[in-house]
Amino acid sequence: MWDFFQTVRHRHSIRRYQTDMPVEPEKLHAILETAVTAPSAGDLQSYRIICVKQPALREELAQAAYGQQFIAEAPVCLVFCSDPERAATAYGDRGRTLFSIQDATIVAAYAQLAVVAAGLGSTWVGRFDELAVAQRLGLEGALRPLALLCIGYPAELPESSHRRRLDEVVTYR
Ligand SMILES: Cc1cc2nc3c(=O)[nH]c(=O)nc-3n(C[C@H](O)[C@H](O)[C@H](O)COP(=O)(O)O)c2cc1C
């Protein structure tokens, strides 16, 4: 069992998946239960998570993401959507334009780490046509898809990617 710091360091974007190995429902449930422990503005959880398993729909998501085919290969795709109107009920415009986006992003980040802890891999996908994704998923109201998280058993072991030095990204005052 990895500790938290090892888990974080073992997360790499996975773009090749074992297509014959589905994600066990209990693992998926544990990932989602862990993700929703994330903090949210006013504890409102101003997001919706769409869990896509249907192969035809995953293929459509891959097309909406400009042909990023690994989205169709991974057995599960979680679509994290902000719910601006829910956040607006408590926080007005700041909730609508900022908190709902932060809520949905934080819950997705928690999910991505829970995926590693569950022995699976993922890639966060942000390059997609929002309107096409919203239409294909039949998203109601103002729900805005912000991130796709493809999940499955890895069929590759990527090298660690480069990071900027801490003194380039951290300022002490
Ligand atoms: C906001 C955001 C958008 C991203 N969009 C894509 C994407 O559309 N396609 C993709 O293959 N990877 C995407 N990534 C993954 C990054 O390319 C990846 O996290 C980065 O290169 C660092 O590699 P690592 O995740 O292995 O540490 C995205 C990551 C983030 C946070």
Per-residue pLDDT of the chain (173 residues; tens, 9 = 90+): 789 999 999 999 999 999 999 999 999 999 999 999 999 999 999 999 999 999 999 999 999 999 999 999 999 999 999 999 999 999 999 999 999 999 999 999 999 999 999 999 999 999 999 999 999 999 998 999 999 999 999 999 998 899 999 999 999 99
Q: What pLDDT, in 10s, does the model give residues 49-66?
A: 999 999 999 999 999 999
Phi, psi angle pair for 172, to nearest 5°: -100, 140
Question: Would you state the pLDDT for residue 110?
Answer: 98
Atom of ligand 1 nearest to the CA of 65: 8
Question: Would you state the pLDDT for residue 2?
Answer: 80
Question: Would you state the pLDDT for residue 31?
Answer: 98
Q: What pLDDT, in 10s, does the model give residues 69-93?
A: 999 999 999 999 999 999 999 999 9
Quick one: 21-155 is in which CATH superfamily?
NADH Oxidase (3.40.109.10)
Ligand 1 mean position, distance from CA 12 (Å): 9
- Within 6 A (CB) of ligand 1 lie 12-13, 15, 68, 123-127, 158, 161
Closest alpha carbon to 83 in 53, 125, 112, 40: 40
Residue nearest to atom 10 of ligand 1 (CA): 125
Burial class (CB in 10 A: 0-12, 13-18, 19+), 87: buried
Question: Would you state the pLDDT for residue 37?
Answer: 98
- List Cβ neighbours of 127 (8 Å cut-off, separation of 6 or more): 65, 66, 68
Question: Would you state the pLDDT for residue 141?
Answer: 87
CA–CA dist 86, 103 (Å, integer): 11
Pairing type for strands 47-52 and 121-125 reads unpaired
Question: Would you state the pLDDT for residue 1?
Answer: 76
- List Cβ neighbours of 167 (8 Å cut-off, separation of 6 or more): none
CA–CA dist 76, 92 (Å, integer): 34
Ligand 1 mean position, distance from CA 124 (Å): 5
Ligand 1 mean position, distance from CA 80 (Å): 15
Ligand 1 mean position, distance from CA 61 (Å): 16
